[in-house]
C-alpha cells in the first residue's frame, strides 16, 4: 500500500479568493502571519468580484460603516500607485432626490458625514447641472455630493490583492475543484484534487456560495444570495470623467469607465437565488430600464450602444450589515460574506480588521458585523440591499 502524503499544515486557510479573501490573505501575511493558504475552487474573479461596478461611496448608513469605506478607499489609493489595473480614480459621487421626505433622510446622511469628518456638499438642481453637464434636472429637488468618493476596477483590485498575497509568501491555489472541508479533532481538513491541507482555522469567504459551504458543515447563517446587473455602454461622444451618479427614484447608477465609456447598473432582483443556477447574462427588461432612465435623466447618453451587459450574484443579510467573524458554536470556523452589494467598497477596510482580529483575538473592531448577533436557526428573509436612503434599522 502506498502511504498517503501527510497533510500540508497552515496557520489559516482562506476559502474563496474574491476581493475579500484575497485582501484578507494579503493582510494576514503583511501582519507577519506565516503559512497562509488562499484557495479558490475556480478563480479570483469567478464570483461577484469579477462583475462589480467598482464604485466606492461614503454615503453610508452609520459612522462605523463610513469609517470602513474611508479605510478601504485609502488602501485602494495606495494599491493603485504605479498599477494601472487597479484603476483608482477619485471622481466623487452624487445621490439625487426628489421629495421632501427623501431630503430629510439625505440631510441626516450629510450630518453623519460631517460628524465623521468627510467632506460633502448639498447641491441644488443648478449645482447638479454644473457637476453633470447634459443632465436633465426636471423634477429633481437636490443632491448630496461627496467629492472624495472613487471608482476602481473590481477585478483589477482583486487580482492585485492575490498577487500581493503571493509576493508576501501566501500559498495561492485556484482551479483545483471544490474542496471538501471537514473537522477532524482540533483542526480543519481541506481535501482537493491535488492534496490535503490542514489548519486550526478556516475562513469561508466564498461570496454567493458561502451559505452552501456553511450549510454542508451544519451551520445555518442568515445569508441570501440575490442577482444584480450592470452594463458597459459607449456614448455617441466619448465621455470625460464625472462623479458617479445615483438616481434614487429611477434606481439606476452610472459611473465613468475608461475609454470614454459608461458603466450603468442596478437591475437588482429582490429574491434569493441559487448561485449555480442563475443566468449570468442581463435581462432585456434591465436594458430597457437603463434606456428609459437615460431618456429621462441623461439625454446626451440616450444614443449609447451596449457593449457588454451581465448579471452577478451578491449576498444579503437581514440587517444589511455583513457577516464577518467567528461562526457561533464552531471552533476555528470564521465567515466573511453578506456585503449586500457593497463588497468592493468595504473589502479593504474589513479584511484588514479581520486579519488583526484573527491575530489578537479581539473582535470588537468588527462588532456591527459579528455573526453572533443573529440567533439560530436562521429564518428566511427577502434581500433589501442597494443604495437605500433610510438608516439601518
Q: Should residue 197 be labelled a site residue for ligand FAD when binding is judged by CB under 6 A?
A: no
CB 53 to ligand FAD: min, Å: 3
What string marks each residue from 98 to 137 as x (binds ligand FAD by CB under 6 A) or -? ----------------------------------------
Q: How far is CA 122 from CA 101, 143, 362, 371, in A?
A: 16, 6, 39, 36
Question: Which residue number, 135 or 205, has a Cβ lying nearer to ligand FAD?
Answer: 205
Are the C-beta atoms of 381 and 224 separated by less than 8 Å? yes
Q: Which three cell numbers stand for residue 44?
A: 479570483
Question: Which residue number, 267 or 326, has a Cβ lying nearer to ligand FAD?
Answer: 267
Spatial separation of the C-alpha atoms in residues 162 and 31, rounded to whole Å? 16
Question: 321 CB contacts (<8 Å, ≥6 apart)?
Answer: 65, 338, 340, 368, 369, 392
What string marks each residue from 308 to 347 as x (binds ligand FAD by CB under 6 A) or -? ----x-x----------------------x-x-xxxxx--
Question: 238 CB contacts (<8 Å, ≥6 apart)?
Answer: 259, 260, 261
Of the candidate spans 39-47, 78-86, 103-111, 133-141, the one that interacts with ligand FAD by CB under 6 A turns out to be 39-47
CB 7 to ligand FAD: min, Å: 17
Question: Which residue number, 48 or 116, has a Cβ lying nearer to ligand FAD?
Answer: 48
Q: Which three cell numbers stand for residue 39?
A: 484557495
- Residue in this structure with the C-alpha cell 462583475, named with its chain if needed: 51
Q: Should residue 19 be labelled a site residue for ligand FAD when binding is judged by CB under 6 A?
A: yes
Q: Should residue 278 be labelled a site residue for ligand FAD when binding is judged by CB under 6 A?
A: no
Spatial separation of the C-alpha atoms in residues 364 and 214, rounded to whole Å? 23
Q: Should residue 353 be labelled a site residue for ligand FAD when binding is judged by CB under 6 A?
A: no
Q: Should residue 349 be labelled a site residue for ligand FAD when binding is judged by CB under 6 A?
A: no
Binders of ligand FAD among residues 134 to 173 (CB under 6 A) are 154
The secondary structure element, H or E, covering residue 211 is: helix 210-216
Q: Which three cell numbers stand for residue 217?
A: 458543515
- Residue in this structure with the C-alpha cell 457561533, named with its chain if needed: 328
Among 325, 340, 324, 327, residue whose Cα is nearest residue 382: 340
CB 33 to ligand FAD: min, Å: 19
Question: Which residue number, 29 or 162, has a Cβ lying nearer to ligand FAD?
Answer: 162
Q: Should residue 348 be labelled a site residue for ligand FAD when binding is judged by CB under 6 A?
A: no
Among 92, 57, 133, residue whose Cα is nearest residue 243: 92
Q: How far is CA 381 from CA 274, 315, 319, 340, 359, in A?
A: 15, 12, 10, 13, 33
Q: Should residue 208 be labelled a site residue for ligand FAD when binding is judged by CB under 6 A?
A: yes
CB 201 to ligand FAD: min, Å: 15
Binder among 12, 113, 116, 206 for ligand FAD (CB under 6 A): 206
Q: Should residue 17 be labelled a site residue for ligand FAD when binding is judged by CB under 6 A?
A: yes
Binders of ligand FAD among residues 238 to 277 (CB under 6 A) are 265
Q: Should residue 46 be labelled a site residue for ligand FAD when binding is judged by CB under 6 A?
A: yes
The secondary structure element, H or E, covering residue 325 is: strand 323-326
Task: Using CB under 6 A, list all residues that contact ligand FAD.
Answer: 15-21, 39-42, 44, 46-49, 51-55, 154, 178-179, 205-209, 213, 228-230, 265, 312, 314, 337, 339, 341-345
Amino acid at each position: 500500500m502506498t502511504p498517503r502524503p501527510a497533510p500540508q499544515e497552515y496557520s489559516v486557510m482562506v476559502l474563496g479568493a474574491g476581493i475579500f479573501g484575497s485582501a484578507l490573505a494579503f493582510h494576514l501575511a503583511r501582519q507577519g502571519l506565516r503559512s497562509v493558504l488562499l484557495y479558490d475552487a475556480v478563480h479570483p474573479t469567478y464570483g461577484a468580484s469579477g462583475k462589480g461596478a467598482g464604485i466606492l461611496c461614503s454615503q453610508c448608513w452609520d459612522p462605523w460603516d463610513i469609517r470602513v469605506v474611508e479605510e478601504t478607499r485609502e488602501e485602494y489609493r495606495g494599491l493603485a500607485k504605479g498599477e494601472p489595473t487597479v484603476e483608482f480614480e477619485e471622481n466623487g459621487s452624487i445621490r439625487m432626490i426628489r421629495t421632501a421626505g427623501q431630503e430629510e433622510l439625505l440631510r441626516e446622511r450629510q450630518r453623519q458625514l460631517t460628524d465623521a469628518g468627510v467632506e460633502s456638499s448639498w447641491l441644488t438642481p443648478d449645482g447638479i447641472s454644473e457637476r453633470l453637464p447634459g443632465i436633465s434636472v426636471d423634477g429633481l429637488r437636490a443632491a448630496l455630493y461627496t467629492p472624495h468618493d472613487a471608482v476602481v476596477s473590481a477585478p483589477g483590485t482583486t487580482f492585485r490583492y492575490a498577487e500581493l498575497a503571493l509576493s508576501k509568501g501566501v500559498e495561492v491555489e485556484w482551479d483545483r475543484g471544490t474542496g471538501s472541508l471537514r473537522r477532524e479533532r482540533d483542526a480543519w481538513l481541506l481535501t482537493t484534487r491535488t492534496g490535503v491541507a490542514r489548519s486550526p482555522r478556516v475562513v469561508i469567504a466564498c461570496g454567493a456560495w458561502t451559505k452552501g459551504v456553511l450549510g454542508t458543515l451544519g451551520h445555518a447563517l442568515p445569508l441570501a444570495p440575490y442577482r444584480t446587473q450592470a452594463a458597459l455602454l459607449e456614448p455617441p461622444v466619448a465621455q470625460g470623467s464625472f462623479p458617479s451618479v445615483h438616481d434614487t427614484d429611477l434606481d439606476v447608477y452610472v459611473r465613468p469607465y475608461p475609454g470614454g465609456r459608461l458603466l450603468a447598473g442596478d437591475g437588482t432582483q429582490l429574491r434569493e437565488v441559487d448561485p449555480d443556477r442563475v443566468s449570468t447574462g442581463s435581462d432585456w427588461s434591465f436594458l430597457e430600464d437603463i434606456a428609459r432612465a437615460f431618456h429621462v435623466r441623461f439625454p446626451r447618453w440616450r444614443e449609447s450602444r451596449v457593449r457588454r451587459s451581465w448579471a452577478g450574484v451578491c449576498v444579503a443579510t437581514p440587517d444589511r450589515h455583513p457577516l464577518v467573524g467567528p461562526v457561533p458554536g464552531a471552533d476555528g470556523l470564521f465567515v466573511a460574506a453578506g456585503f449586500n452589494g457593497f463588497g468592493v467598497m468595504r473589502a479593504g477596510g474589513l479584511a484588514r480588521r479581520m486579519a488583526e482580529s484573527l491575530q489578537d483575538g479581539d473582535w470588537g473592531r468588527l462588532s456591527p458585523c459579528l455573526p453572533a448577533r443573529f440567533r439560530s436557526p436562521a429564518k428566511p428573509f427577502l434581500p433589501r440591499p442597494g443604495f437605500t436612503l433610510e438608516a439601518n434599522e
